[in-house]
Amino acid sequence: MRQAQGRAQQGDDNTMTRFAVALAATALAAGPAFAPGLATAQDGDFVPAVVFDMGGKFDRSFNEGIYNGVERFAEEAGVSYLEFEVTNEAQREQGLRRMARSGASAILAAGFAQADSVEVVAAEFPEVKFTIIDAVIDLPNVQSVIFREQEGSFLVGMLAAMATETGVVGFVGGMDIPLIRAFACGYAQGVHYVDPTLEVLENMTGTTPAAWNDPTRGGELARSQFDRGADVVFAAAGGTGIGVYQAAADSGNLAIGVDSNQNHLQPGTMLTSMIKRVDVAAHNAFAAVQDGTWEPGLLDLGLAEDGVGWALDEHNTDLVSQEMRDAVEAARDAIVAGEVTVIDYRTDNSCDYEG
Amino acid sequence: MDLFLSLIQLLDSSLRLATPLVLAALAGLYCERAGIVDIGLEGKMLGAAFAAATTAYLTGSVWAGLVAGIAASVVLALLHGFACITHRGNQVVSGVAINTLVMGLTPVLGHAWFREGGQTPALSNGTPFAGVQLPYVPVDRDAAMALIVQQDPDLRTLRQLTNRLEAGDADLAARIDALLVAPTPVISWIMAGLQGFANGTVDFVTATRFTPIELPLAETLAPVPILGPVYGELISGHNILVYAAVALVPLTAWVLYRTRFGLRLRAVGENPAAVDTAGISVARMRYQAVIVTGILCGIAGAYLSTAHNAAFVRDMTAGKGYLALAALIFAKWRPVPVLLTCLLFGFLEAMEARLQGVSVPLIGEVPVQLIQAMPYILTVVLLAGFIGRAVAPKASGIPYVKER
């Protein structure tokens, strides 16, 4: 490089000099990325890494659940971890690759949207153990964790049906994807399991990942459903849900949270939260890698595995009567025992059930 | 009648959604009429939204938040002015720079201060007035229950209270009975008025959020057909910034067309050399214009984070600044058409929320994607077909250089 620069300086060609300087600068900047060693961990060291998705680490919902799980693991195991927050779609692959390059031995990818990127990067780094939540990838070094969200949604749907006084309940989804449709479908099944005559309103916030972080629109969608007579609204929309819960609190209606226990966000108007134990999944993925029990393949978590459920705490204990609790627990047992089947929208992309 | 009511609710929602657009578009109107192009409306709104939510949270006063939001926005506007007026920089570049700066800075500051990933903590609706209960104010069962919900921190909603009563909470039932006061003629009427005034004043001052205001007579007029719902649902029950935005439209028209300031403002945007010849400082006029822009953008930002929502969220303006610019061009830089255009944009957005999953007669269920594209399709069609040529102020975007 020094040679190239020297030659250019001797010559009169201005463009050449500039080119060489630019080249030198590029090489300098790219240096650390190519240099193995320094940032890389020693073989055998356990370095977990997590890549959060759009919506951000503190969306109080899906990503925050994963964050909590990872934090708990790091504290218990006494290790530090690498992290990356995706803020636009192009960064997913970069983020994953950077984690792998900087020596992570186990990488956790949050969210269905990272599936394509994980598929590419996992093939490039066959020795790194990847875990993805909410998507299925068939590679020898990838563990896929999926949830039967429809089962948890079914239970909160029942609660909504028992709490409504107007006979109309609502659903606000985030991005319009099969996963969110599965939430909606399970919810509707739960509502109609209690009373087939109830009406379920359904809105999706948008069709791009920006729909996970648009509380203004979420609030407006919720208000439109309240105007149409709904008095309980279930939001499965990441950060957008915050607007939904606010709108419910402002108008004195009930809302249902999602993924993490969100009852504390608007105490008194949060009927419950449909819990998806992504924190447990995140924690267990790293714990398994650490103690050597990690295996590639599919992990399907539902009510039976306590992967999904509904939240009851001091914030909503007044809103859920004993009668409601008993009914939901009975339905839970029936689903676990296989006496009640909850249809999964994703199996054939439709939501046909006996209403 | 049901259709009528849903139409009213649709318009109600349009008004809420149009408010930030109206404020931002009027902000743009002032500086563009003075010859300064402002792409930075978006950034100023975002900065103001952040400053307002942060200050309202820390001080517990939404009014302090509003002032902080305006201050932040005015600082950004002066920065724009400094670049474009004093240094005759490129106005578009300066505006884009401000947008980028704020978009990056707000989440960073927010995360550093609150550790919530760039959001600010949620604002409550203010501590409900739990103070003095004047004597002789009649209290029936409903009012007593409402009072208990207000005063008891464990209870947030009436529903919680009724659930507890149904569960047989004798203590609560006794507290309700203790509160009941039978009305006495005249005295109770006067005292009730005083009580209402006191409650209202305290709520108004101590709020950390702009909450809906019920206009007088809304209850009384409710049974009247058509007028009742129009007044009660559509006109009454918005927060104060919505009314301010609507009131600013005629005010702007008056300032622009009926005052000396307005005349000079328009002249500076059309022919700054002539204004200069008349002995008026072009730079001074333009600085005044960008300050007004800053103030209005500040109100728009505060509306987003402390009235329409209850916290700052990163990128919460979501392109509203650009939409406001489009509305401004659409309205040919005139105040009243600005209001109408913004209402149209708000209406389309409100429609989008309501048309989803609804079966439209003759057509059936419209796909979500088509509904979401509607505002854009309509904008293009209307702009291309009906509005005709939009001519900007002549000196718009051109830095003024005094001839030597």
Which residues in chain B (369-398) have CB-CB distances under 8 A to chain A? 369, 372
CATH topology of domain B2-123+238-387: ABC transporter involved in vitamin B12 uptake, BtuC (1.10.3470)
Task: For residue A176, give how far its alpha carbon lies from the nearest alpha carbon of chain B (Å).
Answer: 9
pLDDT of residue B227: 81
Verify whether the Cβ–Cβ distance B368 to A224 is below 8 Å. no
Q: Is the pLDDT of residue B292 over 90?
A: yes
What CA–CA distance (Å, rounded) separates A185 from B238?
35
The pTM of this model reads 0.79
Q: Regarding predicted confidence, which is higher, A186 or B373?
A: A186
pLDDT band at B132 (very low <50, low <70, confident <90, very high): low
Q: Is the pLDDT of residue A219 over 50?
A: yes
Please, where are the H alpha helices in A35-145? 62-77, 91-101, 115-124
Verify whether the Cβ–Cβ distance B315 to A213 is below 8 Å. yes
Residue B157 with chain A: CB contacts under 8 Å:
252, 268-269
Residue A226 with chain B: CB contacts under 8 Å:
none
Residue-wise pLDDT tens digits, A312-330: 998 888 899 999 999 999 9
Tokens of B54: 């942060």
Q: H/E element holding A82?
A: strand A82-85
Tokens of B334: 């005139």
The pLDDT of B354-382, averaged and rounded, is 71
Residue-averaged pLDDT of chain A = 85
What CA–CA distance (Å, rounded) separates A44 from A128?
12
pLDDT band at B382 (very low <50, low <70, confident <90, very high): confident
Best mutation target, A318, A321, A323, to test chain B (most B CBs within 10 A): A318
pLDDT of residue A40: 42
Q: Is the pLDDT of residue A225 over 70?
A: yes
Which contacts qualify for B243-247: CB closer than 8 Å, 24 or more apart?
B243/B213, B244/B299, B245/B19, B245/B22, B245/B23, B245/B26, B245/B299, B245/B303, B246/B22, B246/B339
The CB density around residue A234, as the number of other CB atoms within 10 Å, is: 34
Task: For residue A165, give how far its alpha carbon lies from the nearest alpha carbon of chain B (Å).
Answer: 11
pLDDT of residue B205: 67
Q: If you search the block for the tokens 């050399």, which residue do you land on?
A: B273
Tokens of A56: 């951000």
pLDDT band at B172 (very low <50, low <70, confident <90, very high): confident
Verify whether the Cβ–Cβ distance A228 to B314 is below 8 Å. no
The pLDDT of B290-319, averaged and rounded, is 91
Residue B9 with chain A: CB contacts under 8 Å:
224, 227
The pLDDT of B147-160, averaged and rounded, is 72
Q: Is the pLDDT of residue A8 over 50?
A: no
pLDDT of residue A355: 53
- Biggest alpha carbon–alpha carbon distance for chain B: 88
Q: Is the pLDDT of residue B119 over 70?
A: yes
C-alpha torsion sign, points B340, B377, B359, A160 = negative
Residue A209 to residues A56, B115, B348: CA-CA distances in angstroms?
11, 23, 22
Residue A59 with chain B: CB contacts under 8 Å:
117
C-alpha torsion sign, points B392, B393, B398, B403 = positive
Q: Is the pLDDT of residue A285 over 80?
A: yes
Query: Measured in Å, how far apart are chain A's first and last C-alpha atoms?
Result: 73
Q: Which residues of A touch B (CB under 8 A)?
A: 56-59, 176, 201-204, 206-207, 210, 213-217, 219-221, 223-224, 227-228, 239, 242-243, 246, 249-250, 252, 254, 265-269, 318-319, 321
Please, where are the H alpha helices in B82-225? 91-114, 141-151, 158-166, 170-179, 187-206, 218-221
The pLDDT of A156-178, averaged and rounded, is 94
The pLDDT of B224-253, averaged and rounded, is 88
Residue-wise pLDDT tens digits, A54-102: 777 887 788 888 999 999 999 999 889 999 988 778 889 999 999 999 8
Q: Is the pLDDT of residue B155 over 50?
A: yes
What CA–CA distance (Å, rounded) separates B223 from B38?
47
Hey, is the C-beta of B301 within 8 angstroms of any chain A C-beta? no
Residue B21 to residues B17, B37, B62, B209: CA-CA distances in angstroms?
8, 17, 21, 20
The CB density around residue B82, as the number of other CB atoms within 10 Å, is: 14
Residue-wise pLDDT tens digits, B6-47: 888 889 989 999 999 999 999 999 999 999 999 999 999 999
Which residues in chain B (165-204) have CB-CB distances under 8 A to chain A? 166-167
Residue-wise pLDDT tens digits, A99-122: 999 889 999 999 888 999 999 999
pLDDT of residue A31: 38
Residue-wise pLDDT tens digits, B36-83: 999 999 999 999 999 999 999 888 888 999 999 999 999 999 999 999
pLDDT band at A15 (very low <50, low <70, confident <90, very high): very low
Closest residue in B to A239 (Cα) is: B313
Residue A203 with chain B: CB contacts under 8 Å:
353, 356-357
The structural domains of chain A, ordered by start, are 2-34 (no CATH), 48-148+280-301 (3.40.50.2300), 149-277+304-348 (3.40.50.2300)
Q: Is the pLDDT of residue B149 over 90?
A: no
Q: Regarding predicted confidence, which is higher, A21 or B52?
A: B52
Are B98 and B43 a contacting pair, CB within 8 Å?
Answer: yes
pLDDT band at A39 (very low <50, low <70, confident <90, very high): very low
Residue closest to B238 by CA, chosen among B203, B219, B214: B214
Are A104 and A126 a contacting pair, CB within 8 Å?
Answer: no
Q: Which residues of B357-394 are buried (b: 16+ CB within 10 A; e: fewer)?
A: beeeeeeeeeebeebbeebeeebeeeeeeeeeeeebbe
pLDDT of residue A22: 47
Q: Which of the residue ranges A215-219, B46-50, B142-146 would you say has the lowest mean pLDDT?
A: B142-146
ipTM associated with this complex: 0.75
pLDDT of residue A329: 95
Q: Which of the residue ranges B147-161, B262-276, B317-331, B386-400 would you say has the lowest mean pLDDT?
A: B147-161
Best mutation target, A162, A180, A181, A203, to test chain B (most B CBs within 10 A): A203
Residue ranges, comma separated, of all CATH 1.10.3470 domains in chain B are 2-123+238-387
pLDDT band at A37 (very low <50, low <70, confident <90, very high): very low
Q: How far is CA B278 from the centre of its chain?
A: 39
Secondary structure (3-state) at B115? coil
pLDDT of residue A36: 37
Hey, is the C-beta of B9 within 8 angstroms of any chain A C-beta? yes
pLDDT band at B251 (very low <50, low <70, confident <90, very high): very high
Q: Regarding predicted confidence, which is higher, B210 or A226?
A: A226
What CA–CA distance (Å, rounded) separates B121 from B343?
30
pLDDT of residue B362: 67
Task: For residue A284, give how far its alpha carbon lies from the nearest alpha carbon of chain B (Å).
Answer: 25
User: Which of A56, A206, A319 is opposite residue B159, by nearest beta carbon?
Assistant: A319
Task: For residue A181, give how far its alpha carbon lies from the nearest alpha carbon of chain B (Å).
Answer: 13
pLDDT of residue B128: 44
pLDDT of residue B245: 95
Q: Is the pLDDT of residue A230 over 70?
A: yes
Q: Is the pLDDT of residue B336 over 90?
A: yes
Best mutation target, A227, A266, A269, A314, to test chain B (most B CBs within 10 A): A227
Residue closest to B353 by CA, chosen among A101, A305, A214: A214
Residue B221 to residues B3, B15, B242: CA-CA distances in angstroms?
20, 21, 21
The pLDDT of B107-124, averaged and rounded, is 82
pLDDT of residue B368: 67
Q: Regarding predicted confidence, which is higher, A9 or A270?
A: A270
Residue-wise pLDDT tens digits, B176-199: 887 777 777 787 778 777 777 777
Are B330 and B341 a contacting pair, CB within 8 Å?
Answer: yes
Residue B369 with chain A: CB contacts under 8 Å:
207
Task: For residue A6, give how far its alpha carbon lies from the nearest alpha carbon of chain B (Å).
Answer: 38
Residue-averaged pLDDT of chain B = 85
Q: Regarding predicted confidence, which is higher, B152 or A207?
A: A207
pLDDT of residue A20: 45
What CA–CA distance (Å, rounded) separates B29 from B31?
6
Q: Mean pLDDT: which of A301-305, B156-160, B232-236 is highest?
A: A301-305
Residue A210 with chain B: CB contacts under 8 Å:
318
Q: Which of the residue ranges A25-34, A191-200, B357-366 would you say has the lowest mean pLDDT?
A: A25-34
Hey, is the C-beta of B163 within 8 angstroms of any chain A C-beta? yes
Q: Is the pLDDT of residue B231 over 80?
A: yes
User: Which of A59, A221, A318 is opposite residue B164, by nearest beta carbon?
Assistant: A318
What CA–CA distance (Å, rounded) separates A189 from A234?
13
Q: Which of the residue ranges B86-95, B329-338, B368-377 would you say has the lowest mean pLDDT?
A: B368-377
Q: If you search the block for the tokens 């100023």, which residue do you land on?
A: B44
